[in-house]
Structure 1
């Protein structure tokens, strides 16, 4: 911009005088006019967190209702089908056979007998029992139990239901048998009733066959001697 133009602008500005009266009149006219109507704004919620909480409660309600519906449907299904939850079956124990019984003559006068292998016997141990019944008192009685040597047979003890002091007891190996013998002591007697004599023994592992086992009972009562004998049956 040249110097001549600058000078001319300064002169014009210095000579300008604003029309104050005109300016005041315009201001007064503007103030006299009504302000334009304001568009009302939508009221704001004083507590916006209530909307969030309400939505959360609604969602939780829907989820809870759904879970309840599924659970109820499952329960009714089990009852309708008649199914029952059962515990797992227990592991089976070793099979056992029926006790052995008499296999020969077992009655003579007032004397009778029966035999069995005790049901508590197992794959390693057994107890063979002889039951002697008398309807009259006995002045003499000898009971002999013979257990066949089927492998690993050896005694672990014996007992009888009559008083211990009334009998002498012996156990020995004899001709392939383990032999138990109970002998009534002199001067003692056996009352009427049923009396048990038992021999206990180990044997080879597994079910033992007592088919070769046997017993005898020889007695004397007022009318004379009597004797019975028998065997055992069934594996043990």
Structure 2
């Protein structure tokens, strides 16, 4: 059977069909009289389980917290001056100033062609609780120590004379617990030497003074050459 004939017969059958209206109405009435079936519970969207909803809530809270923090940071008042950083490091303490003092080395006018005395005048402007006076007499020809003295009481000092390869060293050290008062003080070294005018240009002195608060002062110098007699 070709397609044209098939379509013709189907049309004829459709025109000849007469629906049973009474039967259709009866089925509709039975359907209306029957109770409606319970609606199935709604199904959640595929894949969105309780865990995923919890994760979403956590992420939302975190984002909200970040946004809130950013808001606080960006909306904080900016008209205040930034306080300067305070350093906790402690600057090293400066040393205490030493005693005000001066020193002058001279050859005593009573010196002669065989013997000499080197005088060191020390002047202090305040009490001194520590003192070391050192005279170095160069070992020129014939130099031999003959004595020493000072204007302060002998009991206040420890005095020594030491022979070194190049010098004869006279040293006075103020004893612990003693105090050198303000004023002029003299420390003298005596020695023999070869006949003639001795060259004292290589003789030196060094004085170290300590104040009651620990401040130090150091004085250095020489004696020069005495005028010929």
Name the TM-score, length of structure 2 as normaliser. 0.55
Per-residue deviation, residues 56-100 of structure 1 (Å, max 9, x unmatched): xxxxxxxxxxxxxxxxxxxxxxxxxxxxxxxxxxxxxxxxxxxxx
Cα distance in structure 1, aligned partners of 2:216 and 2:226: 33
> How is 1:105-124 mapped onto 2 (pairs within 5 angstroms)?
109-124=99-114
Alignment check: 8 A CA contact 2:143 2:192 kept: yes
Cα distance in structure 2, aligned partners of 1:175 and 1:137: 36
- Counterpart in the other structure of 1:62: none
Alignment check: 8 A CA contact 2:123 2:182 kept: yes
Cα distance in structure 2, aligned partners of 1:166 and 1:109: 19
Among candidates 198, 203, 215, match of residue 208 of structure 1: 198
- Counterpart in the other structure of 1:231: 222
Cα distance in structure 1, aligned partners of 2:198 and 2:211: 37
Cα distance in structure 1, aligned partners of 2:147 and 2:203: 17
**Residues 109 and 167 from structure 1, CA distance in 2 versus in 1: closer, same or farther, beyond 3 angstroms?**
closer
- Counterpart in the other structure of 1:165: 155
Q: What is the aligned-residue RMSD (CA, Å)? A: 1.2
3-state secondary structure, aligned to 1:200 = strand
Per-residue deviation, residues 170-191 of structure 1 (Å, max 9, x unmatched): 0011131000000001110100
Question: Gaps spanning 5+ residues in structure 1: where?
Answer: 1-107
Matched, 1:144 2:138: no
- Counterpart in the other structure of 2:91: none
- Counterpart in the other structure of 2:55: none
Question: Could you list the runs of 4 or more consecutive aligned residues of structure 1 that deviate by over 3 angstroms after TM superposition?
Answer: none
- Counterpart in the other structure of 2:173: 183
- Counterpart in the other structure of 1:134: 124
Cα distance in structure 2, aligned partners of 1:109 and 1:183: 16
Question: How big is the shift at 1:232?
Answer: 1.1
- Counterpart in the other structure of 2:41: none
Cα distance in structure 2, aligned partners of 1:139 and 1:157: 26
**Residues 109 and 166 from structure 1, CA distance in 2 versus in 1: closer, same or farther, beyond 3 angstroms?**
closer
Residues matched between the structures, number: 129
Question: How big is the shift at 1:109?
Answer: 4.9
Question: How big is the shift at 1:234?
Answer: 1.8
Alignment check: 8 A CA contact 2:99 2:210 kept: no
Cα distance in structure 2, aligned partners of 1:139 and 1:166: 11
